[in-house]
Amino acid sequence: MVGIWQRDEQQSEAQVQFLRERIVPDVCRSPGFVAGYWTHDHSTGKDHTMIVLDSEAAALAFKAGVEANSQNQAAHGVTMELLTVVEVIAALPSQVEQHEP
């Protein structure tokens, strides 16, 4: 799943804190969760997310939940510009996973 988000920069500090304290832990508990990445592009002011789930069904259910929460997002100064289910066609393990102790 790939998402693009616009945040109200005046609320940025509170939004990032909420992301780290509430959203990330909630996403990690989602059925089928594999990995998640939340990034910020300083040149555009937009956030980009990639959430990897173990099946298309899990991704579609997750997407429906995020879309159903759009009013709450807007109330906190966050606008979803794109949210789409995509297929991972290639991946590299992290360096931590590549090196065994």
Per-10-residue mean pLDDT of the chain, 101 residues long, equals: 94 93 96 96 96 97 96 92 96 67 47
pLDDT in tens, 33-48: 999 999 999 999 999 9
Q: Are 31 and 59 in contact (CB under 8 A)?
A: no
**Domain encompassing residue 36:** 2-98
pLDDT of residue 96: 61
Q: Are 28 and 5 in contact (CB under 8 A)?
A: no
CATH code (residue 49)? 3.30.70.100
What are the structure tokens assigned to 19, written together? 């992301």
pLDDT of residue 97: 54
Model's pTM, two decimal places? 0.85
- DSSP secondary structure letter of residue 67: H
Q: What is the tally of structural domains in the chain?
A: 1
Over its C-alpha atoms, the chain yields an Rg (Å, rounded) of 15
